[in-house]
Amino acid sequence: MNKKIVKSTPFGDVGIIWTTSGWGPKIVRVFLSKPGCSAGSQVSGRYPGLRTGSCAEIDAVSSGIRRLLQGDSVEFSLDIADLSLCGEFQQRVLRAEHGIPRGSVSTYKIIAIYLGNPGGARAVGNALANNPFPLIVPCHRAIRSDRHLGGYQGGFEMKQALLTKEGIAFDNVGRVTCNHFHYDYEE
């Protein structure tokens, strides 16, 4: 396995763990810096001794992450992520979350209903809390049913800033003010 550290982003470093398979490079894990813990230190703690390396595909993802964190509209292909490391349910959640376009949000409950598991909001939240590919799978676009943000690997401030850069508005107590949720359903 290899590592690449994306530096100089508005939210600190981002760590990318990747490997080469018969099908080309695959990202195994993305680490976001969070308050009190840089991505670089998370990578070193979890994967000591990895060599730093890159290739054209990983450089493209690295550049895309930097641009996304600066506010640009960037979409990543799931083909670069090694989803085989996730269980079947988590893969379904990650694919659904990946389908939420920039400037849209959904709730954990609506995603669970979309996946055919109406009581599974907590399971969806857990699958996204353990998303090994944040930013590639934009899990910041899932919020709680009460329109509050919920958790995020990069911290609350990063989640709100990413959504703000995507055009999502908030009220004076921090709730999302959109009128439509992606995958919305009729009750």
Which sequence positions are flagged as catalytic?
A: 139
End-to-end CA distance of the chain: 47
Tell which residue, 43, 37, 71, has the closest CA to residue 168: 71
Q: What is the 3-state secondary structure (H, E, C) of 124-140?
A: HHHHHHCCCCECCECHH
Determine the longest span between alpha carbons in the chain, in angstroms: 52
Measured between alpha carbons, how far is residue 45 from residues 20, 34, 106, 167 in Å?
22, 15, 33, 35
Tell me if 55 sits within 8 A of 109, measured CB to CB: no
Residues 54, 51, 72, 69, Cα dihedral to 10°? 180
Tell me if 136 sits within 8 A of 18, measured CB to CB: no
